[in-house]
Chains A and B, each alone.
Chain A
Amino acid sequence: MKFRVDRDAFADAVTWTARALPARPAVPVLAGMRLEVADTASDTLRLSGFDYEVSAQASVDVHAEEAGSVLVPGRLLAEIVRTLPPHPVEFHVEGSRALLTCGNARFTLLTLPLEDYPTLPAMPRTIGSAPADVFATAVRQVLPSTSRDDTLPMLTGVHLTFRGDTILLAATDRYRIAVREMWWKPEEVDIDTSALVPARTLGDFSRSLTGGNVDIALSTSDSRGAGEGMIGFEHDGKRTTTRLIDSDFVSYESRFPTEFAAQADVPVAPLAEAVKRVALVADRSTPVRLSFTSSEVVLEAGSGDDAQALEALEVNFEGEPMRIAFNPQYFLDGLTNVETERAFLRFVAPTRPAVITGTPAKEGGKPDFRYLVMPLRLA
């Protein structure tokens, strides 16, 4: 195997693929990255990494002189390309050694047994595509609400519902629920299916998204056949597949209250900053208290002998005056992920969940992003 490649393109592909490599490989070969030039005519190098759950595959255009494939230590390759000087990279394999030359820098890598390397799962059937930047934003919005506690696998995932031309992304960790609705272009207009995707993989993938479209491929256990229970994303020559979390998701829609006793129309950035300031005196578990009256909200934190903070902010408020307390981080995770300049806060009672939404694009429309958060009990 022998090829020449542009340094930046190569570095980008290697770094991206290396992220899928396990830090503690179950078997040593999984720490390897597979490089493959299928044939010299297509001039494409395919890089892949796999840890039995998640697979990553990137392609990059190269000038191929000799086809072949090789397995090299992945982290090492990633470390090497990060520091390469700005010159074209030459890569070729001689026996059990891979030689990498770039300008004056030369590296020799010992190859790993390629025949032991597990076969990567096949990409499932594409079910549609979504605008990459919107998808990345949507993932970012719901991601903070996923749980990092592995004892309940269901809560560590983001639930994707594909229904007609909308995707619903939802996540919860029992204390809050984040739901985002977005438009996409399905292959079949009457599609109605869902998938529970591990949050970490989805987050990693969406961070690398830039412009263009992301193709979504899914096979769930009801569509019998190869590669059951798997979702794949493809964007810009990079594709990731991951096993789905095999569990039902909570039916979150019914948890959102439909009738509210009060509603506040607040400016997002000023309120978020005020909460952050006031929360400085509150440690993780103590609440920030919000008292709404008709024209303003008073934020307070700390009490008794501890440090205290207080700040008032002008808001539009309708309904009964409301005194309600939140975990500051949970509150901020909702508020700061609203995309519009102003947000609506809706309340039922101080002991009932509150809902944060953006202002809908058109009057009376449905907001894209909804965030339900449980209040803390006031002392």
Chain B
Amino acid sequence: MKNDQFFMASFPAFFIVPFIILFLGTMLLSQAAMADNTLYVQSAKAKLLASPSFASKLLHNMERGVALHVVETSERWVKVKHNDQLGWVSKLLLSPSPPTKKNSILFKPKNDVTQKARRRASSTATAAATRGFRSERHSRANDLENGDYDALEKVESITIEEAEAWKFHQEGIKQ
């Protein structure tokens, strides 16, 4: 009887204790996740500032790809640790994955059929319009659809080297 009373008295604990442990476990898990909370600089340079304001003191200019340990986040700013230095970075410049490298494959894709598509587009689109695939609005756009690839080549021919852009930046903004 005494044991029955003990069992009955401790019965709610059978339900409460798992939830307490579950709560503590979740807390520990989220702390573990926080410990792994690394963000990477995506821009060529990002300012590490003394406080969450563009008017605050510049501590360091961080390079692209630098991994930062997140200490705290606000709506637009992230407090990070970089080489044992604490500072704030604009949230817009950070991402959980390392930045995608500029890759020559990206700029000359093997399956670029732009020219092929250009030759085909007109007849294909006309056929589609006949079959009712295209709305009136699209048909209107289609009248002007043959893109000007010669002009596009001219646009693409103007390239600015990164060093040149930094020089331009320094000359004008001088920060």
Partners in one complex: no
Residues of A within 8 A of B (CB): none
